[in-house]
Structure formats: structure tokens, C-alpha cells
Structure 1
């Protein structure tokens, strides 16, 4: 009898285990094939600027859209202020798929393709709308997609805005006022020529190190958007700001190709739509945030602000004309002309 009871218990346990296994199999079995289910993944998105910038607003929009539409299956981790990788390293880290999404200042990509010098050409665009129109065009997208060779998808342009000159030596109202000063640039021969043509020096310094470089006198000044000047508090260590709008900070939104190609169709669709949502938010934020940042700089009153007149801008435009003579053929005259046509 004891053996019978023991045998009965063993059979019961086996049956329970089989039923449990069948039940688990049923509950985990997707209603459709796994290729039609959103994948559970984590995406790293890194950028080099502060949280109170249009770049970060766009990044948050990417995160919010993707996480919401995926029902939380896709997580997006955002690393601002160069927390994960500095602007010197982020491109190679994107190539290596150590970060999946980033936005890179195009001036820092001129070593990869000289056409990324477009935003650095003096007074090429009248404003953000014209710059967006170019980068959304066939010619602009052709440039953004040129990094495919490194395993990177170029998605869109995010505007940061027109740049303005700051320094701690003297007000800048004429081209002659730049002579003898040393400025920080993002890098690239065109930006070097912008200053050397007027007798000024320049050196490439990572954005994350710029405040210290200005504070220590490594450079006398820099040129940047109102948002970047205000958010990084450059007005604490610079005395003069000239509203010049001579060149631009425009960012390319890039994604690792290996990462994107690993996504199934529903997952990829959510990520692509998230990138579009981020682009729309970043572009809208750029329009308002530069205006707000200028107002904040005026209210703080730490820096003397001077706005160039039309005649003074014309003087700078004439002084920088040789840059077009030298670089139009290097960049590609068809791209320069396509950019100019957006102003019409």
C-alpha cells in the first residue's frame, strides 16, 4: 500500500508539472509571430550640451515617444553634457555601437566629408527655416547620408541656430576689431579661415571644456548660439557679445546602422517615428529657446550686448568673401548654390 501511495504521488507530481509547463507555454506564446512583436531593447542616446537646450528637448521627445509607443518594451537612456562620451569620442563610439543615437555638430564632421562645412560658411543662410529647408532637400540629405561608409545612418538636421561672437577684450563692431584676438572653434578649415582672414587666431576646443578655457584665458572668445552661451553661463566670464549671426551650429541626427538593421519591422517603425518626433520638437524648440536665452542674457546684465547694423554686417560679408572663392569648389558649388536658393 505504501508503494502504491508513493507511486500515485509521483504520477500526480509529474502530471502537475506537465500541466504547468503547458500553461506556461500558452501564456508566453505571442498572439502573432515573434517577428511582429516589439523587441525589448535599451537604447543609449548621448549628446554634449545642457538639459536646457533644444537638443535635449528633442532627445526627451525621442525617449517619450519610443517608450510610450512600445509600451515600455524599449528603454531610452539619455546622457547629456557629454556624461557618457565627450564630443571628441562620440563619433567613434557611435561607429562601435556603444551608443546608438547621437546628435553631432556638423563642423566636427568636416574631416569625414568636406560638405559638412556648409553651416560654417559666413552668412549662407538667413535663418533656421532656410537651413532646415536645405538639409531636408535632396542635396542636404545626400550629405547626411554620406556616413553610411562608417556604418552610420544620417537621419535629419537639428538646428541650434546662428552663432554670435563673445570675448573678454573689447566690443566687436568691425572686421578690424577681431585682429589679434584668439577664438575657440569646433574645428575645420572654414572656421579657421573665418578668423584668420580677419587677423584673429583660433583653436579647436571641445565644447565640454570651453568654459574652463575661457576662464583660464586659453582663448579670448568664442562664437556660439544664444542658447549655448546662456545655458553654459559664458556671460559670467565674457565681457562682450556681438549679435552677428555669421555662421551656424547645425547638428546631424545619426543612428548606428548595425543597431537599426537588427530591429524587426514594428520595432524599427517605432524608433523611426520617435526620431521624427524628436526632430519636430528640436526644431520647434530652437526657434523659441534662442529668443528666450537672449532675453535671459539681457536680464542677467553680465555681458555687454551689441547688435551689428546692416551696414556693419555688409562689411563683414565683404571681408569674408574670399572664403567662398577658396572653399566653394572644395565643398561643391552645387551645394553652395542649393543653400543660397533657400533664401529666395
Structure 2
């Protein structure tokens, strides 16, 4: 063999060996403070299956469902930052202490339906790019926001006292909220009294009258058996999309080779799509069970929805003025909503015509 061919062959062999050496096997530790009936679990199962198969086993994913690795959002996010946890999912309320701007997902009546929300949360949208950049900058690169899925559909008002048709019907009701500021501001704007209560204590709090209502999705309400605690009235105002933020340790992601990074990114896409679909299916049975148990399910008229939207308007100004990064992320959210709505209208008209 000519010497120049021998040198080329040897170089190719060495390059291949180097690539193989870089493609080390890794194990990703993923956790969700939920249970196996939750959308987060559905998403993780899809993620694990995709990533392990697509990587031919070079990436293994270990699932820790519940509080095995950490007991609350703050503790879990600290685990992601220091690398003891690779992947963690949280609602905006669970991470607002670290990233206040993620509360934009709780702004009321900004996104009208699933189709709009899913378009806004699509990878590469102005909103997602802005949110990911803000998370990375705020954490100094320690934490990456990989995607945003769904965990329970839409938040609706539910209570133990009466049917709510307009904001006036919420007046004086003690509504359970998380500790985060924005849900409390919204509850006040609509005339109710925000009452922060830990999730595990909510059943007893409803039962004893410590609170008289809550802002949750139907699958969570039925999964926790809240109707047994007296929660019998639900208004489908869909004031907030129940976004699930999926975070990953930045150093761990950076340590993957290019192919592994691509597989993980694609795995989070698969996860996102699974969590988009899961609540739609589960909510059908949950709404039926709520009504069969004597629950009162009310859908506001367009005119009544306008009253809810008008009452909530002060929250937008409060968010932009009082939340770090609020103005920037609000602009990204609303501009993405406009873009998605226009594209949906175009697609709809193409079919109609």
C-alpha cells in the first residue's frame, strides 16, 4: 500500500478511535415530585424510551417519581444546579423564587386554547428562545430550560360554596393559591381572598373551611378526590395554562457529545408532545366523574369571559412592573401569541376555502 494511503488510513482509524472514546456511556437521573398517574410521569416514560433506544444504550435514564431525591421545588432545583439531579420538572410556582419571570405562564387569559399554547411553546418561538436565554443567564449556565410541556390542562376556579358565572361571584371566597405573588395578585383582582396553602394540606383545608376554593386542573382535582372534601362547583374559565418546565443541569448537558445532545433534545420534544396529549385524554373521564358525583360544571358565555378578562387586566401591569424580567418575557409571550394566532387563522382559512 502506498505510504500516503497508509497515513490516511491510520489517521482515519485514529479519528474513529477518538470519537468512540469520547462517546462515553452516561446515566441521567430524572425526577418529578408527582406520581405515576401524572402527565409528568407519562412524559418521562416517553423520554426514557426514546433516548435509550436512539442512543443504542449509550444514555440510560433513571426515573425517580415522588420525593426520593428531593422533597420540594427549591430543593430539587438546587439539586439540578449542583449536579446531583440531571433533570427536574416543575410548575412556574415551584421555581418562581429562582426565576421570577417564569410566572408569565400564570398570566390569565393570554392564551385562549391548547392550539395557541402549543404553538407558543414550540421550540424556536420568540417566547421559548427568550425564556431559555433568561434561565441560562440567571443561573450562570448551571441550569438549562429544555422544554415546556403541560401538567394537567388548564387552571379553572372551583369552590365549595356556589356557582361562579362572573367575577362578582368570586367576591369574598377564600381561594387557595401557591406562595408565588402572581396567583395571589390575580385572585385579589377578581375579588377573592388568596390563601396560600401547601398542596398536601389542601384536602383538609377544603373540608374544614380554611379555604373555600382553588385554582387547578380537573385531573388534579379528581386525582386528589377534592369533591369528597366538598368541592362541588367548577367554572371552566381556563385562566391559565398549566405549564410544566423541564430543566437540566447545564454542565451535564455540555458533557454529552454532539450526537447525544441531539438525542436528548429530540427526547424532550417527544416528552413535550406526550404531555400535550395526556391531559386531553385524561380530562374527559375526569369531567365525567366530577359531574356524575354531583359536581356543577359551568362554562362562561363569551360576554362573561370578557368580564373575567377585564377584571384581570391590572395583573399584566403589575407583572411587568414588579417581576424581575417581567417586561421582557411579557413582550415575548404576547408577540408569540399574536404570531401563532395569525398562523392558525391562515391554516384554518386554507382548509375552509
TM bucket, shorter chain:
0.7 to 0.9
Matched, 1:181 2:193: no
Structure with the greater alpha carbon radius of gyration: 1
Report the more deviating stretch, 90-99 or 210-219: 210-219
Aligned to 1:343, the other structure's residue is in SS state: helix
What does residue 138 of structure 1 align with? 126
Q: Which runs of 5+ in 2 are unaligned?
A: 1-15, 343-353
CA separation of 1:33 and 1:244: change in aligned 2, threshold 3 A? same
Per the alignment, residue 261 of structure 1 pairs with 254
Q: Deviations over 1:161-193 (max 9, x none)?
A: 221111222222221222222222234322111
Q: Structure 1 325/37 Cα, relative in aligned 2: closer, same or farther at 3 Å?
A: closer
List runs of 5+ in structure 1 lacking aligned partners.
Answer: 1-30
Q: 2:146 aligns with which of 137, 152, 155?
A: 155
Q: Does 1:200 align with 2:188?
A: no
1:282 aligned residue (271, 275, 278): 275
Rounded to whole Å, the distance in 1 between the matches of 2:63 and 2:207 is 29
Contact kept? 2:120, 2:333, Cα under 8 Å: no
Q: Taking structure 1 as reference, are residues 230 and 324 closer, same or farther at Cα in structure 2, changes over 3 Å only?
A: same
Offset of 1:268 from its aligned partner? 3.1
Looking at structure 1, the residues matched to 228 and 132 of structure 2 have their Cα atoms a distance apart, in angstroms, of 36
Question: Is the partner of 1:176 in helix, strand or coil?
Answer: helix
Cα 1:318–1:273, aligned 2, differ >3 Å: closer, same or farther? closer
Deviation at 1:153, TM superposition (A): 0.8
* TM-score, length-scaled by structure 2: 0.79
Choose the corresponding residue for 2:83, options 87, 97, 101. Answer: 97
Q: CA deviation at 1:38?
A: 4.6
1:334 lines up with 2:331 in the alignment: yes
Match of 2:40 among 43, 51, 55: 55
The answer to whether the 8 Å contact 2:166/2:307 transfers is yes
Structure-1-length-normalised TM-score:
0.81
Cα distance, 1:34 vs. partner?
A: 6.3
* Equivalent residues of 2:126, 2:332 under 8 A apart: no
User: How many residue pairs align between the two structures?
Assistant: 313
- Conserved 8 A contact 1:81-1:208: no
Partners of 1:106 and 1:248 in 2: how far apart? 11
Change (3 A) 1:193 1:241: same
* Number of the residue aligned with 2:341: 343
Deviation at 1:146, TM superposition (A): 1.7
Which of 14, 21, 43 is residue 28 of structure 2 equivalent to? 43
- CA pair 205-261 structure 1, distance change in 2 beyond 3 A: farther
Helix, strand or coil for the counterpart of 2:273?
helix
Offset, 1:83: 4.4
Q: 1:90 to 1:184 in 2, by over 3 A?
A: farther
**Contact 1:35/1:265, CA 8 A, preserved across alignment:** no
SS of equivalent to 2:234: strand
2:349 aligns to what?
none
Matched-pair contact (CA < 8 Å) for 1:67–1:73? yes
d(CA) in 2 for partners of 1:216, 1:37: 59
Q: Deviations over 1:124-179 (max 9, x none)?
A: 10112212222331233211332224211111110232211112222222212222
Contact persistence 1:123–1:317 (CA under 8 A): yes
Change (3 A) 1:177 1:81: farther
Equivalent runs, 1:188-227 vs 2, <5 Å: 188-227=180-219
CA distance in 1, matches of 2:143, 2:204: 32
* C-alpha RMSD of matched pairs (Å): 2.5
Distance 1:106 1:204 in 2: 15
Give the direction of change, closer, same or farther, for the CA distance of 1:210–1:87 in structure 2 (3 Å limit): farther
